[in-house]
Each structure stands twice: as structure tokens, then as C-alpha cells.
Amino acid sequence: MNDVKAITVDHLTKKFGNFTAVDNISFEVKKGEIFGFLGANGAGKTTAMRMLCGLSIPSSGNATVAGFDVYHQTEKIKKNIGYMSQKFSLYEDLTVKENIRFYAGIYGKSNEFIKNKTGVVIKDLHLEKEANKLVKSLPLGWKQKLAFSVAIFHEPEIVFLDEPTGGVDPVTRREFWNLIYEAAATGITVFVTTHYMDEAEYCNRVCIMVDGRIDAMDTPQQLKKACDAASMDEVFLKLARKALRSDT
Amino acid sequence: MRSLRFLLQKEFRQIFRNTSILRIIFLMPIIQLLVLPWAADYEMKNINITVIDHDHSPYSRQLISKITASGYFILQDYTSSYNQSLVDIEKDKSDLILEIPASFQKNLIKENESKLFVAVNAINGVKANLGGAYLISIIRNFNGNIRSKWIQFPRFNPELNINVVSSDWYNPEMNYKYFMVPGILVILVTLVGSFLASLNIVKEKEIGTIEQINVTPIKKYQFVLGKLIPFWVLGLIVLGIGLGISRLFYGIISAGNLFVIFGFAAVYLLAVLGLGLLISTYTSTQQQAMLISFFLIMIFVLLGGLYTSIDSMPHWAQMMTKVNPVTYFIEVMRMVVLKGSGFADIKNQFLIMLGFAMVLNGWAVLSYRKRY
């Protein structure tokens, strides 16, 4: 892993009125890294991620994504990232192929690129039979895998995944993580928020947010050692128990 | 521009895949145009009349047959008691009472004058007014006939007689449908523009795909255009279907150039699409969007001169019709379809509509936030 920074965050803060959703956080993510962003509901994970995606302007602090500033260069950031949100984000009334074509098209990919890569992706996902079926007819796990493939179809530098495996069965979650590893191996930086602590173990590094602040940040192994815990689950419980904010 | 092509492709696919939208787009104009003009008809026919005849003379019978032969009145009851006729009115069987006094014929011939009594049930004001007016004109006509037949003219007519000859321009048969159908077409186009477009955008908010669009490099204006263009095209198609239907079923052939209608409709659709867009930026669920559109369309229709004449509204209401885009299109439709007005005649309305389009779309784009 080289030392090129994909994301740098420096004293980033987001306030909504009197409420500080993200409180002065700083961290860096290296290129090709799988960076896990953990925290209870309402800890500020999604708000932080939205600022990095250019969807929300920070109240103070600095951050760059793929080398671009989150205040002034949001359009450039958007060209260089992929995003997959909590909510399922493909069009259910379009077919698998049409969804791929649409998202690739709006990222400015050429017809030839789209055509060639669509074949590869559909084959990788074993969706050959479903390629011309409406997305709404697919099971949830397949949809999520497809959504991830669509999010990285245009070969972004960084992909943001906001609780991508919510409601997905363990087997499909495992397959989903295989896709994430494959993407990381091609040099895509993966920034992922999750509730599942077994998934946290798959990350190169994790950071745990409590009440809008970063409470711990390290590799899963180091965190377990520091907290004298057997699993990430224990680490998380020990840290998250300190939270003052209630579940939103 | 390439992104726009992909957006348009997606929108058209989604619209044509959604059979309920297609049904609305194609069935709505057909049903509305086939049903509404017949129901929303202001010509008064079938006015129920009760005649109290105390005279039973040839003249009174002549008068009654003249009234029933006019086609406007149905002789509900023929009685000789005023009390009986009151019962008819109270039971809503009758709208009008005509009382012919005893010795009606005798007085008319001997004394050269006679009195008739007309009572009107004014609960339905329009019906009462028109019914009364019709009846009076029939009686006047009857009066004229009698005089010319029976009464010796003096050497010169003691009363000045002004004879008014009228000719009804642009709609010579005074066919109410000619007046209604172009107006209903306007409402249809308005529905497609504001209703369907705003629902479509809000739907993306509801299912969350708009978030995904917002993290892509798509620009605000591209997304907006991608939404507006399909409904702009659909609106013009609906207008075309509607004009076809009104020709087929009502024989209404536009006196003016169709290009003028479509040219104005093109700008008009921009304005109502801007309104639809605006509604979508202020709402987050399809339900909210639907209720607001419904509310606005009700007001637009009632204050647009479709059913009621703007000239007879109070001043404040007339001011309100000026900020209603529907008013202008209804006016233009009637001018072009019935009068054959050309582009030069509707220039003012055209410019005003351009203004509407710019203000509404500008406002909508400003309030459509790509980042929130």
C-alpha cells in the first residue's frame, strides 16, 4: 500500500442549529484502503459521509477528497467518487442493463466502454439470465451487489458505501465483501459505514464515532489489543456505551 | 449534453413502462372531452313551467302552445289554482309560474292591454334569470303577433320602435360546446404539465434515487431539463389528441392556424412545468404534491374563465385571474379556434406567458437544491 492520500479530513465540523452532528473530526485515508466508519445510530457517520460526497457543506474545518476541496470543488469530487446509499438507489422500473447504462452514461463513459464492461459485470455477478429483467424482480441481496457494481462501474477513485449490507443475509454479505476486496485490489479506496462488527474485522482500518467525535481509530487488531477485547463487537460496546446521545 | 441524452432515455423508458401514467395521458383527454362538454352546458333547456290559466280562451291556449313549442320549457302542470302552482314550486317540480288572468283575451282586444304574472323560483339563479328572460321574450313576440293581426294600426305608430337585429359572430349557432371544448383542452394540458411532472420528481425524492443522482456529476439544469422535456412533449401530444377528438366528435375545426395554438402551448407548457417543478421542490412526498396541485388547479380552473365569465367577476377576482396562466391559454384557445386569430393578435398573451415561464422556472431552479 503506498502513501497517497485519498481522503484527508482536518477538524471537520457540521452544525445544524445548536446541534453539532460532526464535532471536529480529523483523519486520513490512504489510496486503496478499506476504511470502516463505525458508530451507533445518530453518531454522525452519515453526516460526515455526506460532507465528503459534496452533498452537504461543512460548518468549519477542511477536507479533501481525491485531492479536491469539499467547499469549492464538489463537482470535481462527484466525478471521481462512487456512492451507494442506505436506501436502495437503482431504478426498480428499469432493467439491470438499463440501470448500468444510465449511471455509466451520466458519468460520461463512452458507449463502447459501457458495452464491454456491462458484459463483464453481469458475468461477474452471475446475472446473465436477469440482465434484461426489471431490477424490482431481483432479491435484495442481488440488488445490493448490483448497486455496488454500478457505484464503481465508472472506475472512481473512491467509493462511499453507507450501510450497504443492511438487511442482507450473511452469505450474501460475505459475497458483497468479496466484491469490496476485488474493488480495493484494483486501487479503489473504499469508505464504508456499517453496523455489523464482523464486517469491521474485514476493514484495513476502522474509526469509531461516538457523539459526533472520533473515539478510536486503528486497525481492528490494534483496537482489540488496546481495549483488551476478543472481538470488534466488544470493542464497540465498550466505546459506544459512553455515548450520551440517544438513538435517533 | 450527453448526460441529458441518458436522462431523457431513462425518463421516457420509465414513463412508457408505467401503464397507469400512459392510461392517464391517453384516456383522460378522451373521457374529459367526451363527457364534460355535455354536462357543463349553460344553455337552458328543460325549464319546468307551471301555467295557471284562469281564462281558458283561444289566446291563452295560443300563448301556452307558443311557450311549449319554443323548446326551452316543459309544461309541468296546467292548473287553474294558484295554490296548486305554489305546491309545484315548493316540491321543486317547477321553476317558473305563469299566471294568465281571467278575461285575458277580452282585455287584450277591448282595452288593448292585459297583464300577466310571472313568478320565478330563484334558488338556481342562472336558470331563473334565463328562464324569466326567455319567457318574457316569447310573450313579447306573442304580443307583437296579436297586435299585427287584430289591432288596427293608427296612421302612424305612436311608440317609437327600435328594431334590433343581431348576428352572432364566431359561434353563429351559439353552440356552448364550441366555447367549452377549447377550454377543457387547456385544463388537460395543464394537468399533464403540473400534475404529472411534479409527481414524477417527488417520486424520486420518495424512493431516494434523487440522492444518488445528487452525488453524480449531473448538473441541476440537466436534471431539471431531463424531467421537463418528456412532459413537455407529452403535453403537446395530449393537446394534439384533444384537438383531434374535438374535431371528430364536435366538428370543431380551428378557424386559426394550428401552429399558433401549438406555438402558444409550447410556451404555456414551459410555464406550467415550471409550476410543477416548483411544487416538487417544496414537497417531499407524492401525497403532498398531489394535494397542492389539486388545490392550485381548482383555483386556476375556477378563476380561469372556463366556466364563469371573467368580465362578470368582482374587481379583486379579475385581478387574480391576471396571475393565472390558465386564463391566458383559455383566452388564446378561444380566440384562435373560434375567431381565427393569428400570432399578431395573441402577441400580448404570448409575451405574458413567456414571463410566467421565466419567473416560475427561475424560481423553481433556485429553490431546487442539489445540496441540502
Q: Rounded CA gap, A8 and A26, in Å?
A: 8
Say whether A81 and B215 touch across the interface (CB within 8 A): yes
pLDDT score at B67: 86
Closest approach of chain A CAs to the CA of B17, in angstroms?
A: 7
Whether residue B155 is contained in a domain is answered as no
Q: Nearest CA of chain A to the CA of B204: how many Å? A: 9
Instruction: Check CB contact of A161 with chain B, cutoff 8 Å.
Output: no
Whether residues B358 and B311 share a domain: the answer is: yes
The residue among B33 and A111 whose pLDDT is bigger is A111
The whole-angstrom separation of Cα B21 and Cα B26 is 9
Q: In chain B, how many domains are there? A: 2
Report how far residue B48's alpha carbon sits from residue B92's, in angstroms, rounded to the nearest whole number: 9
Residues B262, B222 share a domain: yes
Q: Which residue from A6, A24, A13 is spatially nearest to A64, judged by alpha carbons?
A: A6
Residues 6+ apart with CB under 8 A from B53: B60, B61, B64, B78, B79, B80, B100
Binary contact (B212, A85; C-beta < 8 A): yes
What confidence score (pLDDT) does residue B89 get? 81
| B163 assigned to some structural domain | no
Q: Which three cell numbers stand for residue B81?
A: 289554482
Alpha carbons A23 and A244: distance in angstroms, whole number: 14
Mean pLDDT over B292-299 rounds to 88
CB contact under 8 A, A78 and B217: yes
Residues of B in CB contact (< 8 Å) with A are 2-3, 5-7, 9-10, 13-14, 17-18, 207-209, 211-219, 371-372
Q: Are residues B87 and B12 in the same domain?
A: no
Residue B359 lies in a domain: yes
State the pLDDT at residue B44: 67
Pair B11, B143 in one domain:
no
Q: What pLDDT score does A150 carry?
A: 92
Residue A194 near chain B (CB below 8 Å): no
Contact list in A for residue B221 (CB cut-off 8 A) is none
Q: Which of B13, B14, B216, B223 to mutate to test the interface with A (most CBs of A within 10 A)?
A: B216
Residue type, B39: A
Q: Which tops the pLDDT comparison, B302 or B164?
A: B302
- B156 lies in a domain? no
- Give the end of a domain, one of B118, B150, B182: B150
Look at residues B150, B183, B205 and tell me which one is the last residue of a structural domain: B150
Regarding whether B205 and B77 lie in a shared domain, the answer is: no
pLDDT at B331 over 70: yes
Contact list, B17 vs chain A (CB under 8 Å): 93-94
Give dist(CA B360, CA B269) in Å, integer.
Answer: 11
In CATH terms, the fold of domain A5-240 is: Rossmann fold (3.40.50)
Determine the pLDDT at residue A245.
65
pLDDT tens for B96-152 read: 888 888 888 888 777 777 788 888 887 777 777 788 888 888 888 888 777 776 655
Q: What is the pLDDT of residues B206-251, one digit of tens each?
A: 888 888 888 888 888 888 889 889 999 989 998 998 888 888 888 8
Which pLDDT score is estimated for B370?
Answer: 47
Query: Quick check: B168 pLDDT over 50?
Result: yes
User: Rounded CA gap, B107 and B115, in Å?
Assistant: 9
> Do residues B325 and B343 share a domain?
yes
DSSP assigned state of B335: I
The pLDDT score that the predictor gives to residue B158 is 55
Together in a domain, B123 and B238: no
Instruction: Pull the grid cell for residue A196.
Output: 455489523
Q: B372 to chain A: nearest residue by CA?
A: A56
- Out of A55, A92, A101, closest to residue B215 by CB: A55
Please give the grid coordinates belonging to residue B222.
440537466
* Within a domain: B160: no
Q: Does B297 share its domain with B340?
A: yes
Question: For B256, phi and psi rounded to 5 degrees?
Answer: -100, 180
Do both B196 and B279 map to the same domain?
yes
Angstrom CA distances, B302 to A140, B267, B297, B299, stand at 48, 22, 8, 5
Per-residue confidence of chain A (248 residues) as pLDDT tens digits? 456 888 999 999 999 888 988 999 999 999 989 999 988 888 888 889 989 998 888 999 999 999 999 999 988 999 999 999 877 788 989 999 999 999 999 998 899 999 999 999 999 888 889 889 999 899 888 888 899 999 999 999 999 998 888 888 888 888 999 999 999 999 999 999 988 888 888 899 999 888 888 888 888 888 888 888 888 888 888 877 766 665 44
CB contact under 8 A, B208 and A89: yes
Report the pLDDT value the prediction gives residue B236, as an integer from 0 to 100: 92
Tell if the CB–CB gap between B2 and A102 is shorter than 8 Å: no
Distance (Å) from the alpha carbon of B285 to chain A's nearest alpha carbon: 16
Instruction: Indicate yes or no: CB of B10 within 8 angstroms of CB of A98.
Output: yes
The residues, any chain, with a CB within 8 Å of residue B130's CB and separated by 6 or more, are B44, B47
pLDDT value at residue B371? 40
| pLDDT band, residue B50 (cuts 50/70/90) | confident
Q: Does A109 touch chain B (CB under 8 A)?
A: no
Residues B231, B339, single domain; the answer is yes
- Alpha carbon of A132 to those of A122, A128, B7, B106: distances in Å? 11, 8, 19, 92
Q: Do the domain assignments include residue B164?
A: no
Which residue range(s) make up the domain with B111? 47-150
Kindly state whether residue B167 falls inside one of the protein's structural domains: no
Minimal-distance CA residue of chain A relative to B218: A106
Is some CB atom of chain B closer than 8 A to the CB atom of A133? no
Q: Which of A83, A88, A108 sits opposite B2 (nearest CB)?
A: A108
Residue B115, pLDDT score = 81
Buried b (16+ CB within 10 A) or exposed e, B76-94: bbebeeeeebeebbeeeeb
* Average predicted confidence (pLDDT) for chain B: 82
Determine contact, residues B195/B276, Cβ cutoff 8 Å: yes
Sign of the four-CA dihedral A78, A83, A88, A90: positive
CA-wise closest residue to A201 among A40, A34, A84: A34
| Shared domain check, B213 and B358 | yes
Is residue B84 in a domain?
Answer: yes
| B230 and B334 co-located in one domain | yes
Q: For residue A62, what pLDDT is reported?
A: 92
| Domain finish residue from B150, B185, B219 | B150
pLDDT of residue A1: 45
Among residues A139, A204, A134, the alpha carbon closest in space to that of A169 is found at A139
- Whether ipTM exceeds 0.90: no
Helix or strand or coil: residue B216?
A: coil
Residue B54 DSSP SS3: coil
